[in-house]
Amino acid sequence: MTTSARSLLRSFNIRPKKSLGQNFLHDPIWLERIVAGGDVGSDDLVLEIGSGAGSLTRCLALAAREVVTIELDQRFVPVIEHALKGFENVTVVTGDILDYELRELLSGRDSSNFKVISNIPYYITGKLVRHLLQGSLRPRIIVLTVQREVAARMVAEVGEMSMLAVSVQFFCSARVLAHVPASVFYPSPDVDSSIVRLDVLPQSAWAHPDHHRFFSVVRSGFTHRRKQIQNAFVQGIGLSREQIVGALHAAGVDPRRRAQTLSIPEWARITDCMATLTD
């Protein structure tokens, strides 16, 4: 299959660009695992990010009711059209997913219950996840092939938390489905990958009702993640040390702790205690 993928791109005189993170998953077993990981069925609307050579797109089109796929690199449009010949349930959009509101991209469709299934360029993982989760329209399920190290960060436990972990786990229940060897991609990336599934929570299950205020506080705390949380807030929030220490104590958090040790419920309590000082 690697030779076939290489031959297909050569027939269209296309070389993958490392700068765009173009490593295409070609192994049919792994493609089917990704589709199965999202429980894709005949009633589903699926958004794919990064059409590439259309290998995953075809698998999704065989399983789903409708697929909307977006590709940044216009060179791949004829490749995708070739790969999807005969499929009537796929819409191809050329552009940058980060420039689109999901509601705009899926306009005219019943998008109340859609899924995102993608083998994404690894360099945009953090921005893309935030884009998918912090907009006004959110998917029900997200299945992504990402760098193995990044997948581990998404599902990290308290003590190893990061801004990405908080961003994912505030909105989702996250789990790693499988680890994917580099050899099943063309060209092979320098790192192994993982398939991660994010089941998006209803708003009623969020740790805090105001996610904008919540993440404003979290971002301030992670700005200097190696510092004690009181020191990070002194530099990131316009409050005195006395006020910050008082708010942390009120939230039941030791001011000497560091951001990676805080749980999402603790961040929520800090957000509320900070709000009493700024409102």
Cα–Cα distance, 120 to 126 (Å, whole number): 11
Using alpha carbons, select from 126, 195, 136, 223 the residue that is nearest to residue 167: 126
Do the Cβ atoms of 236 and 223 come closer than 8 Å? yes
Last residue of a domain, one of 186, 203, 220: 203
260: amino acid identity, one letter: Q
Last residue of a domain, one of 174, 203, 232: 203
What sign results for the dihedral spanned by CA atoms 126, 131, 134, 139? negative
Helical residues (DSSP H) of the chain, grouped into ranges: 2-11, 28-37, 55-63, 77-83, 102-105, 125-133, 148-154, 163-171, 211-222, 229-236, 241-250, 264-278
- CB count within 10 Å of CB 124 equals 18
Do the Cβ atoms of 193 and 145 come closer than 8 Å? yes
Cα–Cα distance, 220 to 231 (Å, whole number): 10
- Assess whether 193 and 219 both reside in one domain: no
* Structure tokens given for 41: 């069925």
Residue 225: φ, ψ to 5°: -65, -20
Q: Are strands 45-49 and 172-180 parallel, antiparallel or unpaired?
A: unpaired
- Assess whether 194 and 263 both reside in one domain: no
Which CATH number characterizes residue 129's domain?
Answer: 3.40.50.150
Domain count, the chain: 2
Cα–Cα distance, 238 to 145 (Å, whole number): 39
What pLDDT, on the 0 to 100 scale, is given for residue 62?
97
What pLDDT, on the 0 to 100 scale, is given for residue 11?
85
What pLDDT, on the 0 to 100 scale, is given for residue 4?
64
- Assess whether 273 and 218 both reside in one domain: yes
What sign results for the dihedral spanned by CA atoms 98, 163, 31, 191? positive
What pLDDT, on the 0 to 100 scale, is given for residue 7?
75
In order along its 279 residues, the chain shows pLDDT tens digits of 444 667 778 888 888 787 777 788 889 999 999 999 999 999 999 999 999 889 999 999 999 999 999 999 999 989 999 889 999 999 999 999 999 999 999 999 999 899 999 998 888 999 999 999 998 999 999 999 999 999 999 999 999 999 999 999 999 999 999 999 999 888 788 889 999 999 999 999 999 999 999 999 999 999 887 899 999 998 878 789 999 999 999 999 999 999 999 999 999 999 999 988 776
Last residue of a domain, one of 169, 187, 203: 203
- Assess whether 72 and 131 both reside in one domain: yes
What sign results for the dihedral spanned by CA atoms 23, 24, 29, 34? positive
What pLDDT, on the 0 to 100 scale, is given for residue 154?
97
Which CATH number characterizes residue 222's domain?
Answer: 1.10.8.100
Query: What domain range includes position 116?
Result: 2-203
What pLDDT, on the 0 to 100 scale, is given for residue 279?
64
Cα–Cα distance, 176 to 154 (Å, whole number): 9
- Assess whether 191 and 230 both reside in one domain: no
- CB count within 10 Å of CB 88 equals 7
Q: What single-letter DSSP state applies at residue 136?
A: S
Cα–Cα distance, 203 to 207 (Å, whole number): 9
